Amino acid sequence: MINEIAALTSSSTTDGLLKATSTTRYSASTPDLGGTAEASAPSFSQAVAQVSQEAIDKIKQGEAAAISGVDGQASAQQVVEAVLAAESTLQTAIAIRDKVVSAYQEISRMSI
């Protein structure tokens, strides 16, 4: 998923918007014939689970690199790179958590 986001940001904004609108138009004009959703498109919960697992793996790599550095099996540069990547991943996860909590609180304040 992160690769798709990176590909989107690397292309021009106009190209990304045109692709999104053309896909949306096609999807909206095609009637659902009772089949299942497109096999290549993951559900929201699958995408969140995948991103979460990637974040966990990145943090575990940072911890393993730190332990390897203490044991003398990894260079200082490798340890610093892995720990900084893990820290960045953790900060991203915390920011996402904060946004989810904020959205939940806003929804709970809405009158029905």
User: Do the Cβ atoms of 112 and 87 come closer than 8 Å?
Assistant: no
Helix (H, G, I), strand (E, B) or coil at 8: helix
User: What pLDDT does 71 receive?
Assistant: 92
The per-residue pLDDT string of the chain (112 residues; one tens digit each, 9 = 90 and over) reads 445 544 444 444 444 444 444 444 444 555 555 555 556 788 999 999 999 999 999 999 999 999 999 999 999 999 999 999 999 999 999 999 999 999 999 999 998 7
Tokens encoding 53: 């697992």
User: What pLDDT does 40 receive?
Assistant: 78
